[in-house]
């Protein structure tokens, strides 16, 4: 009885090792003594947990930020590519420049409107990934938003309405979860002031858990109406053990909206050209 | 000089796509820092930003009430703040931050220094996000 089980265990180990080249190709190494990447029953990395992106010092204070930077250095993690400006067509870039000149006062997020993808991922509030067989659920603290990401091979539904978060379907490529997101409305900014898009936007997200504590997040935005080529954004998502998603009702007391109205009426920089 | 500032502002806005912001530059002046000391009078512990007021005694005993915006409660909790404990009416504090473009006694709070000398962040750096 034991021999078949041992063989099965050996096969599982081989499959797990064989499915790990993506992290090896990245040139990253686990820090010594760190925990192994947890795996689901199908051998894929289990992304379940509470994660957060964003500026370290902003989120955790200087001391913890420094500790995380040291752990990154010890792990040999390469720095993420620097942010690049959106490769906009001239007409779209002109619109972005107008928004920049207006100092972000038009930001949909400042009015508590749901952020889209990928912006919602990099907001400085945590989200929880719940990985189930055939489906991944992401619960975002910000906006109380959620995404259902089928991973059972089904296509996008054919009756999808344009929406803030679009429609997501996922699949695995080695150790990387790849999520195809389509059917967006045009009410969101992609990744910064004035980063507009059309309803032709398609976002491909790649979630690669490269260590126990981190996911390398890569979002490729394609939009033939406003972009000249695909635009990529990267973030390091960090596991927050012991953290939980809390309530965050953005409209509770959003005084910004009132002040924006005053500024729009009184401040010359907001006069439309 | 103004051109340089606008260019610098553009670079800051363009270079911080991950900071998640709520239009800091529209409301506050990153080149006009402010520090005041006084007594905490009210605290509004609410989303998307907390607000608190500080009564600041000026010349001839005239009191000006300053009002500061800070992080949302969840971000303060994650940095160790406790509602009704960390900041209470009657406490003597010093607040540093940046001036509002609208109101001469309103600001974006960045750091609070307590009577025992300890310091805590209460809001985001200039030009970046809180929510």
Q: Would you state the pLDDT for residue A124?
A: 85
Average pLDDT over residues A53-73: 72
Is the pLDDT at A117 greater than 90? The verdict is yes
- Residue A237 CB contacts under 8 Å (≥ 6 apart), including other chains: A51, A52, A53, A121, A207, A214, A215, A216, A217
Tell whether A61 is within 8 A of chain B (Cβ): yes
ipTM of the complex: 0.82
Can you give the residue range of the structural domain that contains B100? 26-121
Q: Would you state the pLDDT for residue A54?
A: 64
Q: Would you state the pLDDT for residue A33?
A: 45
Does some domain include residue B6?
Answer: no
Across the interface, whether the CB atoms of B19 and A112 are under 8 A apart is answered: no
**Coil/strand/helix, residue A48:** coil
Does some domain include residue B16?
Answer: no
How many domains does chain B contain in total?
1
Q: Would you state the pLDDT for residue B98?
A: 96
Distance CA A121, CA A115 (A): 9
Distance CA B68, CA B38 (A): 13
A119: chain B residues, CB-CB within 8 Å: 20
Distance CA B87, CA B74 (A): 15
For chain A, what percent of residues have pLDDT higher than 70?
A: 84
Long-range contacts from B63-66, C-beta under 8 angstroms, 24+ separation: B64/B105, B65/B41, B65/B105, B66/B36, B66/B38, B66/B95, B66/B105, B66/B106, B66/B107
Of the candidate ranges A58-67, A138-147, A245-254, B95-104, the one whose mean pLDDT is the lowest = A58-67
pTM, 2 dp = 0.84
A124: chain B residues, CB-CB within 8 Å: 19-20, 75, 129-131
B16: chain A residues, CB-CB within 8 Å: 192
Q: Taking Cα atoms as reference points, which of A106, A188, A184 lies closest to residue A142? A: A188
Does some domain include residue B40?
Answer: yes
Q: Which residue of A has its CA nearest to B11?
A: A100
Distance CA B74, CA A12 (A): 42
Tell whether A143 is within 8 A of chain B (Cβ): no
pLDDT along chain B (131 residues), means of 10: 43 39 82 97 97 95 96 91 97 97 95 96 74 34
Across the interface, whether the CB atoms of B18 and A60 are under 8 A apart is answered: no
Q: Look up the CATH number of the domain holding residue B30.
A: 2.40.50.1010
Does some domain include residue B12?
Answer: no
Closest partner residue to A246 among B14, B18, B74, by Cβ? B74
CB pairs under 8 A between A and B: 130
Residue with tokens 């309530």: A247
Across the interface, whether the CB atoms of A253 and B102 are under 8 A apart is answered: no
Give the model's confidence band at A76: pLDDT under 50 very low, under 70 low, under 90 confident, else very high.
confident
Q: Where are the alpha helices (DSSP H) in A32-141?
A: 56-60, 62-75, 90-101, 119-122
How many domains does chain A contain in total?
1
Give the model's confidence band at A268: pLDDT under 50 very low, under 70 low, under 90 confident, else very high.
confident
Can you give the residue range of the structural domain that contains A219? 49-263
Is the pLDDT at A1 greater than 70? The verdict is no
Tell whether A112 is within 8 A of chain B (Cβ): yes
The Cα-based distances of B104 to A104, B70, B100, B124 in angstroms read: 21, 17, 7, 20
Closest partner residue to A263 among B6, B26, B49, by Cβ? B26
Angle at which helix A90-101 crosses helix B2-15, to 10 degrees, equals: 110
Sign of the torsion angle spanned by Cα atoms A272, B1, B7, B13: negative
Q: Taking Cα atoms as reference points, which of B66, B131, B50, B74 lies closest to residue B103? A: B66
Does some domain include residue B87?
Answer: yes
Tell whether A125 is within 8 A of chain B (Cβ): yes
Tell whether B105 is within 8 A of chain A (Cβ): no
**Coil/strand/helix, residue A71:** helix
Please give the mean pLDDT across all residues of chain A: 86
Does some domain include residue A221?
Answer: yes
Does some domain include residue B93?
Answer: yes
A263: chain B residues, CB-CB within 8 Å: 26-27, 101-102
* Cβ contact B52:B67 at 8 Å: yes
Is the pLDDT at A264 greater than 70? The verdict is yes
Tell whether B26 is within 8 A of chain A (Cβ): yes
Question: What pLDDT digit, counting tens, does each position of A16-44 carry?
Answer: 434 333 333 333 344 444 789 999 999 99
Average pLDDT over residues A48-52: 95
Across the interface, whether the CB atoms of B74 and A248 are under 8 A apart is answered: yes
Across the interface, whether the CB atoms of A107 and B102 are under 8 A apart is answered: no
User: Among residues 186-245 of chain A, which lie with CB inside 8 Å of chain B?
Assistant: 191-193, 195, 233, 235, 243
User: Among residues 75-104 of chain B, which lie with CB inside 8 Å of chain A?
Assistant: 75, 77-79, 100-102
Is the pLDDT at A7 greater than 90? The verdict is no
Q: What is the DSSP letter of A250?
A: G
């Amino acid at each position: 009885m034991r021999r078949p089980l041992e063989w099965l265990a050996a096969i599982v180990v081989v499959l797990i090792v064989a499915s790990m080249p993506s992290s090896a190709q990245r040139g990253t190494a686990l820090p010594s003594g760190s925990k192994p990447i947890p795996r689901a029953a199908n051998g894929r990395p289990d992304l379940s947990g509470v994660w957060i992106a964003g500026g370290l010092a902003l989120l955790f204070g200087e001391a913890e930020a420094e500790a995380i930077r040291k752990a990154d250095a010890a792990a040999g993690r390469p720095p993420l590519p620097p942010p690049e400006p959106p490769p906009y067509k001239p007409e779209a870039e002109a619109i972005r420049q107008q928004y920049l000149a207006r100092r972000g006062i038009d930001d949909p997020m400042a009015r508590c409107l749901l952020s889209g993808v990928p912006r919602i991922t990099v907001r400085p509030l945590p989200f929880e990934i719940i990985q189930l067989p055939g489906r991944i659920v992401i619960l975002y603290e910000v906006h109380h938003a959620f995404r259902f990401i089928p991973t059972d091979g089904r296509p996008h539904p054919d009756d999808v309405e344009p929406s803030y978060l679009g429609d997501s379907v996922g699949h695995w490529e080695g150790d990387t979860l790849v999520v195809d997101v389509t059917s967006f409305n045009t009410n969101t900014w992609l990744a910064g002031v004035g980063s507009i898009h059309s309803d032709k936007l398609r976002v491909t997200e790649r979630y690669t858990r490269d260590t126990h504590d981190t996911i390398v997040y890569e979002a490729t935005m394609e939009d033939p109406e406003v972009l000249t080529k695909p635009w990529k954004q990267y973030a390091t998502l960090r596991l927050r053990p012991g953290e939980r998603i809390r309530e965050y009702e953005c409209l509770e007391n959003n005084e910004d909206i009132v002040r924006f109205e005053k500024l729009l009426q009184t401040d010359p920089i907001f006069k439309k050209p | 000089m103004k051109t340089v500032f606008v260019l610098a502002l553009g670079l800051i806005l363009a270079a911080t796509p991950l900071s998640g912001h709520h239009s800091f530059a529209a409301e506050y002046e990153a080149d006009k820092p402010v520090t005041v000391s006084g007594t905490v009078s009210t605290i509004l512990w609410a989303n998307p930003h907390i607000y608190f007021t500080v009564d600041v005694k000026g010349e001839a005993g005239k009191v000006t009430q300053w009002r500061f915006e800070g992080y949302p409660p969840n971000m303060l909790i994650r940095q160790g703040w406790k509602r009704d404990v960390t900041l209470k009416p009657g406490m003597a504090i010093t607040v540093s931050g940046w001036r509002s473009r609208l109101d001469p006694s309103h600001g974006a709070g960045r750091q609070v220094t307590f009577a025992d000398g300890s310091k805590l962040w209460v809001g985001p750096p200039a030009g970046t996000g809180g929510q």
